[in-house]
Structure 1
Amino acid sequence: MRLLFSLYGTRAGGLLLALLLSCMTLAAGVALFGVSGWFLTGAALATSAMTFNLFGPSAMVRGFSFLRIVSRYGERLSGHATTFKILSDIRVRIFSRLIPLVPLKAAAHRTGDFVARLTADVETLDMMFLQVVAPIATAILGALGLSLLLWLVLPEALPVVLIGFGLTTLLLPGLIVLAGRRSGAETVRTAADLRIAVLDGIDGHADLVTLGAVDGARHSVDKAVALVRKARLRQSWRIAFGPAFVVLGTGATAIATLFVGLPVLEQGRVSGPVLVGALLAVMAVFEVAGPILRGAGKLGAASAAAGRVQSLVDMRPAIVDPAKPVRVPPAGNITFEKVGFTYGRDASILTGLDLTLHPGERIAIIGESGSGKSTLLGLLLRLVDVDTGRICIGGVDIRAMRQADLHAHIGLLSQDAPVFIGTIRDNLRIADPAADDATLHAALVKARLDGFVRSLSQGLDTWLGESGETLSAGQARRLCLARTLLSPAPVLLLDEPTAGLDRPTEAEFLADLLAVTTGRTLILATHAAIPHGAVDRVYRLEDGALTLED
């Protein structure tokens, strides 16, 4: 739980407020039950043998009832609000780790496993504070308060109450946690396997249909579903035992309290109303045991999920910033000097590659799929490091620079550049959060998308849907181009920017692209036909080396 408690520290204010209100709710509930028992018993006895002041106790009952309602509402409001913020913090922390890890594939996880860790595992942690941490802390404080009350009015019952309360709220949940660790871990593992199977089936649907392997993939999903169901049923059985244990522990403790208290009543050392009030107060404090026992049934799964998330957070990327970084030269040649790079042990991609690019020059790199064009761009961005040789900007090795500075100096438009869920304005401001509407429209003009955006009823505030589903392929590509052009980076890398477009749209897009990037250093990696005179040089990447095309 190291991950959770490190995050709890950053939200300590909200969590302490929720804990305080939880204790207040429990105290108000105990006081309400105790006063009610004292009040009702005293009133009943007053009708036959004694007088009883009804106004004070009735006012206390109303006051404690109101306090309990207000504090419970406040506890739910503050606790859930803080929990949602913690979940957001977890996701931000995970994404901040995934950004350097995913391009390298160094984490050795499939896409489905990443998705499982970002969704199911994080969601498993959502109620840890409200169902485990806060109830246990409240139970401890509640036990102290109840002990003080019993010490004052019925000290003989103090040992049996503490034993019964401890067994119900600490020992039994602990046993449930120990018994459920294996099933909890199994629940998390099978849920992750199911997501992997589903996402693999979606990603590879075309290949599965072509190869006639759909039935096999469906069988894998069905098998994963069955395992998830089995694991969750085991976990549900343990969670279901929680209320039964609460009733059993409450009843047993109440009987023991009554057994100890009746002789004290007979001796006249405590009155009947006080004994009844103390008995109901003891029963009321067990209210906190319910959430603890329910949380204990889920703690095994939460622990396993936290472990999976923590392992991702702890994973150290292969690319790290130098201890004493050097600033990126604002201008200077980009040089690849005897660069070599190999995937795995035998898949040599680049071998002794040399390239010099002067400021403002524009080159195109062509080659077959898998020849290393995207790898070359990734090396310049330092998503991976060269195996041999070096890459320099202005004579400075990029490994001596901070990654953030390097990425600010180089802009990228990749073949799978995403359109994010949100508005047009949201997507554009990723490149420049401070850009005003005039700047955004200027970028759209360069990308030849401004007319389309202005024709929309909501303009820049038009909602695009998930993955830009409201845009055509060409419009989505132009929006990504506009976003890239908003970046002040003096160097632009374009990796298959026309992928997925038809021939006429491709030619039109490429012509516009080359026109609006004038003045910037440009490296274009593409399969598309390059318009004559559009770039200064065209290179072919083949067998790990560059050759200049005529």
Structure 2
Amino acid sequence: MMRLLFSLYAKRSGGLLLALLLACLTLAAGVTLFGVSGWFLTGAALATSALTFNLFGPSAMVRGFSFLRIVSRYGERLAGHATTFKILSDIRVRIFSRLIPLVPLRAAAHRTGDFVARLTADVETLDMMFLQVVAPVATAIFGALGLGLFLWIVLPDSLPVALIGFGLTTLLLPGLIVLAGRRSGAATVRTAADLRSAVLDGIDGHADLVALGAVDGARRSVDEAAAAVRTARLRQGRRIAFGPAFVVLGTGATAVATLYVGLSVLEAGRVSGPVLVGALLAVMAIFEVSGPILRGAGRLGAASAAAKRVQSLVDMRPSVIDPPRPVALPETGDIVFDKVGFTYGRDQQVLSGLDLTLHPGERVAIVGESGSGKSTLLGLLLRLVDVDAGEIRIGGVGIREVRQADLHAHVALLSQDAPVFIGTIRDNLRIADPAADDAALLAVLEKARLDGFVRGLPQGLDTWLGESGETLSAGQARRLCLARTLLSPARVLLLDEPTAGLDRPTEAAFLADLLAVTTGRTLVLATHAALPPGAVDRVYRLEDGALALEG
């Protein structure tokens, strides 16, 4: 966990140091405020007259330290939370960037629900680590040093008692809670991930579960996962609940011990009553930092397990990586599949000795049964995964020799499940070209025959689209994804079942428009749909891992 957190904290060290300094200042102001208040009230009560005790100095100090504590506390929370949110953003970006090359085609050895759990729940478990563990522990160490210096000056006899009590409550007891809670914390993270996986698997496979009559079994799996989460969280909650009790007991025991030592010093005349009371309240005030530490200790087991799961993704090496010395990708040239072979797992051969040559600007359709490998062929050209045999070249250069970013700028894919993201129409289009202006956006919408619809909306390009484009019809969503693909400057367009899920009239209209607006670009269309005569230059059938020219 510390390896993961250190790499994240190093990037945000400025904000974290500011929050830590403000936390130390807040603790120092609070301890001083309590000490001065005790000294002030006791001294005033014992004074025989106002002339024998200066009221103005102590009262001004009380007001000053009170105001300082308020300001520093506000600044600490502002700086600490702002930096924590930035760290959460950093870690989500890091995880997502790791997931991108892992998910396509072979998809690593994880379920979608497990990926979602790592990206959301595990990161959320780490969100308060700095505010509830790192900063309080560091503040406690600095506070203990400051308290020790203060007691060494005014009440040295109580120094061992106060520091031992503070150390037991703030450091030893949290350590014991961490050791006792490691197993329950790991169980909390594991069971929460299992529950998310079970729920998402049930949602994704709902149609199959209904068709196979397996809904009750899936429901039982979710119920069992939910019960496991409840049990794990109750165990963790009981340990967290011990925190406040330990703080009260530790504070009380240390205060009593300090008072016991202080009374003998007072009786010997080596300290005055007001100073003793001030020192006693200062000792009690420093325990303010113990609460967050003990609460954080109860969650440290879960945070450690979550960090391990997150780090395993961060450390995972993608199967497709850029070459150490990439070469430039030619702007144009033939696309050649040279005896390409690809196998899923150990024995599921999809492509075998496949040959294909595409000339610039050509249109080729690839047809075949579901599972024949059409989508795999397109994914190999994008280098979502590497071929097992043979080679793919563009302009005579093997795609393994170029940077993936350059390849993806040259080749664009419109898949059958291309998503509409939560956001505006403008946001969805600019994924393809973040610098595109409104004129360019409306131009591609016109090519996709969606500009009239968008212009008729009250907010136009700024119209908000719901979850998965729920405010759009299936045809409108598909045309929006087509417009996004057309906005890309890619010279090669790959279309994977672009009309899947559309009715026949909508499919025919979409294909007619699609073929009209992609003129001048190399087009590879994998489809089951009936194509208009002359729509493409060649039609290939993919069967038994090889291509055969039709017609």
Does the CA-based 8 Å contact 1:107-1:315 persist in structure 2?
no
- Matching of residue 430 in structure 1 with residue 436 in structure 2: no
2:90 matched to which residue of 1? Answer: 89
Give the residue type in structure 1 aligned to 2:291: G
Distance across 1 between alignment mates of 2:113 and 2:377: 27
Does the CA-based 8 Å contact 1:14-1:79 persist in structure 2?
yes
Q: 3-state SS of the aligned residue for 1:415?
A: coil
* Cα offsets for 1:152-183 (capped at 9, x unmatched): 10111111111111111110000000000000
Which aligned pairs between 1:7-26 and structure 2 lie closer than 5 A? 7-26=8-27
Gaps of 5+ in 1: none
- Matching of residue 403 in structure 1 with residue 385 in structure 2: no
Taking a change above 3 Å as real, the CA distance of residues 48 and 266 of structure 1, as seen in their structure-2 partners, is farther
Gaps of 5+ in 2: none
Give the residue type in structure 1 aligned to 2:353: G
**TM-fit CA distance, 1:50:** 7.9
Q: 3-state SS of the aligned residue for 2:536?
A: coil
- Matching of residue 239 in structure 1 with residue 247 in structure 2: no
**TM-fit CA distance, 1:48:** 7.0
Does the CA-based 8 Å contact 2:105-2:379 persist in structure 1?
no
Which aligned pairs between 1:42-53 and structure 2 lie closer than 5 A? 42-47=43-48, 51-53=52-54
Which aligned pairs between 1:488-507 and structure 2 lie closer than 5 A? 488-507=489-508
2:459 matched to which residue of 1? Answer: 458
**TM-fit CA distance, 1:52:** 0.9
* Cα offsets for 1:122-168 (capped at 9, x unmatched): 11011000000000000000111111111110111111111111111
- Matching of residue 279 in structure 1 with residue 280 in structure 2: yes
Distance across 2 between alignment mates of 1:538 and 1:107: 33
Give the residue type in structure 2 aligned to 1:18: A
Q: 3-state SS of the aligned residue for 1:538?
A: strand
Which aligned pairs between 1:42-81 and structure 2 lie closer than 5 A? 42-47=43-48, 51-81=52-82
Give the residue type in structure 2 aligned to 1:210: A
1:381 matched to which residue of 2? Answer: 382
Distance across 2 between alignment mates of 1:216 and 1:393: 50
Which aligned pairs between 1:118-517 and structure 2 lie closer than 5 A? 118-517=119-518
Give the residue type in structure 2 aligned to 1:255: V
**TM-fit CA distance, 1:3:** 1.4
Does the CA-based 8 Å contact 1:349-1:543 persist in structure 2?
yes
How many residue pairs get aligned? The number is: 550
Q: 3-state SS of the aligned residue for 1:103?
A: coil
Distance across 2 between alignment mates of 1:357 and 1:48: 103
1:518 matched to which residue of 2? Answer: 519
Give the residue type in structure 1 aligned to 2:373: G
1:4 matched to which residue of 2? Answer: 5
Give the residue type in structure 1 aligned to 2:207: A
Does the CA-based 8 Å contact 2:363-2:522 persist in structure 1?
yes
Distance across 1 between alignment mates of 2:378 and 2:213: 37
Does the CA-based 8 Å contact 1:106-1:317 persist in structure 2?
no
Give the residue type in structure 1 aligned to 2:505: P
**TM-fit CA distance, 1:47:** 3.8
* Cα offsets for 1:179-202 (capped at 9, x unmatched): 000000000000001111111111
Distance across 1 between alignment mates of 2:105 and 2:317: 12
- Matching of residue 30 in structure 1 with residue 23 in structure 2: no
Give the residue type in structure 2 aligned to 1:324: R
Give the residue type in structure 2 aligned to 1:373: K
Distance across 1 between alignment mates of 2:160 and 2:280: 14
* Cα offsets for 1:470-528 (capped at 9, x unmatched): 11110011000111001111111011111111110001001100100000011000010
Distance across 2 between alignment mates of 1:539 and 1:165: 78
Distance across 2 between alignment mates of 1:106 and 1:490: 27
Distance across 2 between alignment mates of 1:440 and 1:490: 18
How large is the Cα RMSD of the aligned pairs? 1.0
Distance across 2 between alignment mates of 1:3 and 1:437: 42
* Cα offsets for 1:376-433 (capped at 9, x unmatched): 0001011111111111011111111111111111011111111111000001111111
**TM-fit CA distance, 1:231:** 0.4
Distance across 1 between alignment mates of 2:151 and 2:187: 44
Does the CA-based 8 Å contact 2:162-2:258 persist in structure 1?
yes
Distance across 2 between alignment mates of 1:107 and 1:288: 44
1:107 matched to which residue of 2? Answer: 108
Distance across 2 between alignment mates of 1:224 and 1:407: 40
Does the CA-based 8 Å contact 2:140-2:289 persist in structure 1?
yes
Give the residue type in structure 2 aligned to 1:281: A
Distance across 2 between alignment mates of 1:49 and 1:482: 83
Q: 3-state SS of the aligned residue for 2:16?
A: helix
Greater displacement, 182-191 / 250-259: 250-259
Greater displacement, 428-437 / 202-211: 202-211
Distance across 2 between alignment mates of 1:302 and 1:462: 40
**TM-fit CA distance, 1:106:** 4.8
Distance across 2 between alignment mates of 1:78 and 1:278: 31
Distance across 1 between alignment mates of 2:488 and 2:521: 11
1:538 matched to which residue of 2? Answer: 539
Does the CA-based 8 Å contact 2:106-2:344 persist in structure 1?
no
* Cα offsets for 1:195-239 (capped at 9, x unmatched): 111111111111111222111111111111111011000000010
* Cα offsets for 1:18-42 (capped at 9, x unmatched): 1111111101110110000001100
Give the residue type in structure 2 aligned to 1:464: L
**TM-fit CA distance, 1:326:** 1.0
Q: 3-state SS of the aligned residue for 2:524?
A: strand
Distance across 1 between alignment mates of 2:514 and 2:148: 76
Does the CA-based 8 Å contact 1:106-1:318 persist in structure 2?
no
Give the residue type in structure 2 aligned to 1:26: L
Greater displacement, 96-105 / 305-314: 96-105
Give the residue type in structure 2 aligned to 1:347: Q
Give the residue type in structure 1 aligned to 2:247: V
TM-score (norm 2): 0.99
Give the residue type in structure 1 aligned to 2:462: D
Distance across 2 between alignment mates of 1:96 and 1:104: 16
TM-score (norm 1): 0.99
Distance across 2 between alignment mates of 1:420 and 1:251: 56
**TM-fit CA distance, 1:104:** 4.1
**TM-fit CA distance, 1:264:** 1.1
**TM-fit CA distance, 1:305:** 0.3
Q: 3-state SS of the aligned residue for 2:103?
A: helix
Distance across 2 between alignment mates of 1:107 and 1:156: 63
Distance across 1 between alignment mates of 2:506 and 2:355: 33
Does the CA-based 8 Å contact 2:362-2:523 persist in structure 1?
yes
Greater displacement, 462-471 / 282-291: 462-471
Q: 3-state SS of the aligned residue for 1:238?
A: helix
Distance across 1 between alignment mates of 2:207 and 2:421: 25
Q: 3-state SS of the aligned residue for 2:495?
A: strand
Give the residue type in structure 2 aligned to 1:279: L
